[in-house]
Amino acid sequence: MDWFASRSSEAWPEPGLVGNFRASLSQWDLTPRRIAAVYLLFGFVGLYISDVIFASIFAEPLRSQIQALKGAVEILVTAGFIYAISVASRHQLERTNRRLERRNEELHVLHRVLRHNLRNDLNVIEGHAEYVVESQRDEEDLSEPCKTILRKTEAIISYIQRAGQIRRLNERESVETYDLPEIIPSVVERSEAITDAVDVTTEIPEEATIWANHMFPAALDELLTNAVIHADSDTPQVSISVSKTDGPDGMTAVDIADDGPGIPESVRRVIESDEHDQLAHLSGLGLWFVHWTLTDAGGSLSFDTDGDGTTVRMLVPTADSS
């Protein structure tokens, strides 16, 4: 039993010709078309040998021709089924692989960002809390440390909230359709970051429908919030524009522009190039959440920063309105 167990965990030796054939086959990309072609080749060779050569010798010519035609039709139909099933299986496997790769990426980033930010912020909280305890006799000196404690605590809560949003990205398998003239005003109205002091302008066509992950409204709100909280003035200006012609074919561009200082180059490079090892330059999960929300449905996230502010562009697949 021990011998069998040890042998079963190893690769069994192959005969020379069989081993070479299997090695060559493993290096050959078996696409659905090639699988169907191989089946057709062997099928017609076998048909020619059995129903043409042998049948012409031992059977009546007309009967052998009918039998050969029948066999050819069966081979063609079966090859069609094999091709269709192979295509469906391959597409399903590719979707599964993409989902697994994205999930691994999410877990990798979550681990690094949460470990780095939570550890540092908790250390800051601990240090200031100790200072508060030691300085409790002087109330004036407690103001700034307490503010720092509150600020860092809010940052930790924000990390946890973003992590929860990222976790919910893959709760549903399929993407959803969104009517941008309807969803954008709704998100603006419900966003906690949009107050009376914020000037929001929109430029949205009457018809603009997209495909997106079910967390798209939350991603849109994240970008609006990011534009407001990083504004230089007390009256931030944010503009939202939608265009079906500025982006690539089949994609709708949603631009969110602000008059803030702009997103740092290091942050933009991390998001656009997926440089996970450079996460020390990325202080939060918000932009990663937006990035993954868009890429889940085949979209993308990009940035354009100039002296007048930053424009964040979301490219999302255009839904067929017909």
Going from the C-alpha of 183 to that of each of 8, 58, 73, 244, the distances in angstroms are: 57, 75, 53, 16
Mean pLDDT of 214-232: 89
* pLDDT exceeds 80 at position 313: yes
**In a domain? residue 28:** yes
CATH of the domain at 253: 3.30.565.10
pLDDT tens digits, one per residue of 40-63: 777 667 666 665 555 555 556 666
* pLDDT exceeds 50 at position 191: yes
Which one of 5-19, 77-91, 191-205, 255-269 scores highest in mean pLDDT? Answer: 191-205
Identify the pLDDT of residue 209: 94
Output the pTM of the full model.
0.57
**In a domain? residue 264:** yes
* E runs forming strands in 44-145: none
Given pLDDT bands bounded at 50, 70 and 90, which one contains residue 24?
low
**Residue 45: CB partners within 8 Å, gap ≥ 6?**
none
Domain match, 304 and 180 both: yes
**Residue 177 and residue 131: Cα distance in Å, rounded?**
52
Domain containing 92 equals 2-98
Domain boundary among 98, 120, 141: 98
**Residue 166: CB partners within 8 Å, gap ≥ 6?**
106, 110, 285, 288, 289, 292
Identify the pLDDT of residue 1: 36
Domain boundary among 63, 98, 133: 98
**In a domain? residue 131:** no
Identify the pLDDT of residue 48: 62
Domain boundary among 81, 98, 115: 98
Among 65-74, 103-112, 124-133, 294-303, which is the least confidently predicted range?
A: 65-74
Q: In terms of residues, how long is the chain?
A: 322
Identify the pLDDT of residue 28: 57
Mean pLDDT of 254-274: 75
**In a domain? residue 179:** yes
Identify the pLDDT of residue 205: 93
Identify the pLDDT of residue 255: 95
Identify the pLDDT of residue 115: 67
Question: Is the CB of residue 309 less than 8 Å from the CB of residue 262?
Answer: yes
Q: Tokens for 135?
A: 């300085």
- Based on the structure, what is the number of domains in the chain? 2
